[in-house]
Amino acid sequence: MSNQAIYQMAVAAIAESSIQAVAITIGYSRPALSRYMSGSYGAGVEKIEEAIKRHYDVRNCPFLTKQVDIHYCTTKSTAARPIKSGGVREAHWLACQSCPNNQGAHHDPL
């Protein structure tokens, strides 16, 4: 059974380019991605879905005012507070703590 949100990420990515391009991006063969998309992927779908999510789950970062992938977003929001006070890194970290993309505040922003 596939995760519907991740499946829709794949649908959108394929619509923007091609199934071959998406397969190359996620590191799978075109036939493997085709089988996943048709619901006939023989193996468990967890690994291919993780590859799709890693490459196509993007968020709008209000601090950077651009799209970032989920790995970047999570890494920034869960990092320890920067030691140097008053810098750009600290401002970014503070913004992450109250960001709507942060699925749960991991640090006390004070």
Mean pLDDT within 69-73: 85
- In angstroms, the CA 76 to CA 98 distance is 12
- Name the band, by pLDDT with cuts 50, 70 and 90, for residue 31: very high
Q: Nearest-CA neighbor of 8 among 32, 33, 44, 37?
A: 37
- Name the band, by pLDDT with cuts 50, 70 and 90, for residue 85: confident
The pTM of this model reads 0.65
Q: Could you tell me which residue, 76 or 49, shows the higher pLDDT? A: 49
Mean pLDDT within 67-89: 87
Q: Residue 86 pLDDT more than 50?
A: yes
